[in-house]
């Protein structure tokens, strides 16, 4: 019987292998576009639902990961509910934000 740890390691390795081989295949077809010197937009508003997925966003903001990659205007905002987050996405995209 496979242990949980071995399963996770093999699943992770398979995923990484698939991503690498897929990106190499795409690179050889010539569909890549030259990358700009920085991010497309330095400003971003990231909403999160407390307890669910807040830790990665908060830690990235506090450790300066966004600033390091040229995204100096990132805001991490707490959302009241999934519905509020959805409404902010819809309203934000309709308003050009």
Higher-scoring residue by pLDDT: 92, 54: 54
Instruction: Say if residue 24 is in the same domain as residue 47.
Output: no
Is 26 a domain residue? yes
CA–CA dist 85, 78 (Å, integer): 9
Domain of 4 in residue numbering reads as 1-33
Checking if the pLDDT of 57 tops 70, the result is yes
pLDDT at 84: 83
Instruction: Say if residue 54 is in the same domain as residue 19.
Output: no
Checking if the pLDDT of 95 tops 60, the result is no
Where residue 85 falls among pLDDT bands split at 50, 70, 90?
Answer: confident
Checking if the pLDDT of 13 tops 70, the result is yes
Residues 6+ away with beta carbon under 8 Å from 76: 46, 48, 57, 58, 61
Instruction: Say if residue 80 is in the same domain as residue 48.
Output: yes
Instruction: Say if residue 48 is in the same domain as residue 87.
Output: yes
Q: What percent of the chain has pLDDT over 70?
A: 67
Instruction: Say if residue 68 is in the same domain as residue 90.
Output: yes
């Amino acid at each position: 019987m496979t242990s949980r740890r071995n399963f996770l390691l093999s699943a992770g390795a398979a995923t990484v292998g698939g991503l690498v081989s897929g990106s190499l295949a795409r690179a050889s077809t010539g569909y890549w576009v030259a990358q700009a010197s920085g991010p497309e937009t330095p400003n971003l508003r990231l909403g999160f639902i407390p307890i669910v997925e807040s830790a990665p966003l908060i830690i990235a903001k506090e450790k300066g990961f966004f600033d390091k990659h040229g995204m100096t205007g990132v805001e991490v905002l707490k959302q009241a509910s999934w519905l509020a987050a959805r409404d902010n996405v819809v309203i934000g995209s309709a308003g050009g934000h």
